[in-house]
Amino acid sequence: MSTDAPGAAPLIRLRGVTKTYGSGNTAFQALRGVDMDVQAGEFVAVMGPSGSGKSTVMNILGCLDTLSAGSYRFRDVAVEALDRNQRARLRRHYLGFVFQGFNLLGRTSAQENVELPLLYRGASAAERHRAAREALAQVGLDGWGHHTPAELSGGQQQRVAIARAIVTQPQVLLADEPTGNLDTQRSREIMDLIATLNRERGITVLMVTHEPDMAAYARRVVRFVDGRVDSDRLQEPVMSPPVESTLAGEGG
């Protein structure tokens, strides 16, 4: 799905993006001239073998790393021209992140974990509490806010991580191997949830995965090889069941 008008600039545009680590004889070129557009509302799976550059490009898209050469435009703004504080504001206001390892604070409740991005944005306590409760409800964890990560299953922890990612109502969700630590059933439930957020809320999703079963949920698959885009194809995605049936009775 795309919310852009015909001829409108894409939400994300990469042109000639390179990334080099080190210098001289030890230099490693992780990206070698990447061109890629992402329209608002797309669900894109980014695949490729280890060392192909897929995680590097995601870090650049998420403003967690900077490119060495080329152009990265977000909402037609040149990201490479932004200073550190401006890139941080872009992350806080437009991007949500989901990682393989959940990255939750272990001694902090689910509610407080979800509130963290709003705390960094300076939201009031009342606003944080309300938004976090709503985000937890959206991922099927209504009433679980007082539990710590140790009291939750892996699937539930990843739901908390997704709630934390969407609590700021981002335009883009960047997911790096979001099912990597989950079993098959929980992986499907998480993918159903991400696909529902994309389809029903219009959140643009870019997901790194090495699993074809998970990439099948995306509308588009971009494959990286040796730091370049090797293929870029559309597909008919796996359709999620209604979110209510996905979440009903799920405890894992």
Instruction: Please report the pLDDT score of residue 3 as a whole number.
Output: 43
pLDDT at 147 over 50: yes
95-99 vs 77-78, strand pairing mode: unpaired
- The average confidence (pLDDT) of the chain is 90
Confidence of residue 38 (pLDDT cuts 50, 70, 90): very high
Query: Whole-angstrom Cα distance, residue 199 to residue 176?
Result: 19
Over the stretch 115-142, which tens digit does the pLDDT of each residue have? Answer: 999 998 888 999 999 999 999 999 999 9
Instruction: Kindly indicate the confidence band of residue 8, based on its pLDDT and cuts at 50, 70 and 90.
Output: confident
Q: How confident is the model at residue 24 (pLDDT cuts 50, 70, 90)?
A: confident
pLDDT value at 161 more than 50: yes
| pLDDT beyond 70 at 195 | yes
**How do beta strands 172-176 and 204-208 pair?**
parallel
- Give the pLDDT of residue 1: 39
The pLDDT value recorded for residue 192 is: 94
* Euclidean distance between CA atoms 110 and 104, whole angstroms: 8
Q: Report whether CATH 3.40.50.300 matches the domain 39-65+97-247.
A: yes
78-92 burial by CB neighbour count: b if 16+ within 10 A, else e?
ebeebeeeebeebbb
Rounded CA Rg of the chain: 18
- pLDDT of 189 over the 80 cut: yes
What global pTM score does this model have?
Answer: 0.88
pLDDT of residue 249: 41
Given a cut of 50, is residue 236 above it in pLDDT? Answer: yes
Q: Which residues pair with 20 in a beta bridge?
A: 29
71/241: higher pLDDT? 71
Report residue 240's pLDDT band, with 50, 70 and 90 as the boundaries: low
238 or 34: which leads in pLDDT: 34
In whole angstroms, give the CA distance from residue 60 to residue 79: 10
Give the mean pLDDT of 83-92: 93
pLDDT computed for residue 2 by the predictor = 41
pLDDT at position 6, please?
52
pLDDT for residue 67? 96
Q: Please, which pLDDT band fits residue 64 given cuts at 50, 70 and 90?
A: very high
pLDDT at 172: 97
- pLDDT at 176 (0 to 100): 93
pLDDT score for 4: 45
Identify the pLDDT of residue 110.
96
Tokens of 210: 């090495």
